[in-house]
Amino acid sequence: MSMRKINIIVGTVILVLSYFFWTDAAAIRPPAHIYPKTVIGITAFLGLTLLIQALFFSKGIADVKPLENMKIGRVLIVIISTIIYYYCLKTIGFFVTSFFFIIVLTWLLGDRQIGLKVFAKLGLLSIVVMGLVYVSFKIFLKVPTPPGILF
C-alpha cells in the first residue's frame, strides 16, 4: 500500500475519531468545553489537511510503501503471544505465566529447533530471569505483581 493511500486512510480515521470526540464534548458544561473542543478542532483540521494533501497534492508525498517487506508473521506472533500472556497472567498469576511466556516466545522468535537441550537452555534462562525479577521486584522493591490462582 502506498503512502498516499495510507495517508487517505489515516486522515479519514482522524476525522471519524474527531467526530466521536466532538459529539461527546457536547455534554461538557461551559467554560470547561473550550479546551477540549479546541483540541478536537485542531485534530480535525490537521486530519483534513492530511486527507486533502493525499487526495490533491500527492506529488509532495514520498513514493514509498511503508507496510511492504514487513515480517508481519513475526510481529503477529509477538502481538498474539502478548495478548494470550495478558489473559493467562490475569488468571494464573504473573510468575508462572511469565516463566512459560519467556520459554515459548523466545523459542518462537529464535531458530525453533526442537530438542531437550534447547528447551533446557530456555528453561534455565527463564528461571534465572524470573528469579532476578522475583528477588529485585518482589523482595527488595516490594513492587506488586498481577495476582492469580497460582504464583
Partner 1 sequence: MLADFLIGLQNSLNPINILIMSLALAGGIAIGTLPGLSATMGVALLVPLTFGMEPSSGLLMLGAMYCGAIYGGANSAILINTPGTPSAVCTTFDGYPLTRKGRADEALFTALVSSVIGGIIGTIFLMFATQPLALISLKFGSPEYFWMAIFGLTIISSLSEGNMIKGLLGGVLGLLLATIGIDPVTGHNRFIFGFRPLVEGITVIPAMIGFFSFAQILSLVDEDQKYLASYTPNKGIVSKVIGQIFKKSKKNVFRSSLIGTFVGLLPGAGGNVASFVAYNETKRWAKNPEDFGKGEVNGIIASESSNNATVSSSLIPLLSLGIPGSPVAAVLLGGLLIHGLQPGAKLFIESGDIAYTFIIGLVVANLLMLFIGYFGMRLFAQVLNVPSHYIATIVIVLSVIGSYAIRNSLFDVVLMIVCGIVGFFALRVGFEPGPIVLGLILGSIAEEGFSLSLLMANAQGSMFGTFVARPISAFLIFMCIMAIVSPIYVRIKKSRKNKSLENA
Contact string (CB under 8 A) for partner 1, positions 28-47, x = contact = xx-xx-xxx--xx-xx--xx
- Residue 40 class from Cβ within 10 Å (0-12 exposed, 13-18 middle, 19+ buried)? buried
- Looking only at residues 97 through 116 of this chain, which bind partner 1 when binding is defined by CB under 8 A? 98, 101-102, 105-106, 109-110
Cis ω on the peptide bond leading into residue 31 (within 30° of 0)? Answer: yes
Read off the DSSP letter of residue 135: I
Alpha carbon dihedral 127, 128, 134, 136, in 10-degree steps, equals: -170
Give the type of residue at 137: F
Give the residues lining the site for partner 1 (CB under 8 A).
3, 6-7, 10, 14, 20-21, 24-25, 27-29, 31-32, 34-36, 39-40, 42-43, 46-47, 49-50, 53, 66-67, 70-71, 74-75, 77-79, 82-83, 85-86, 89-90, 94, 98, 101-102, 105-106, 109-110, 125, 129, 133, 136-137, 141-146
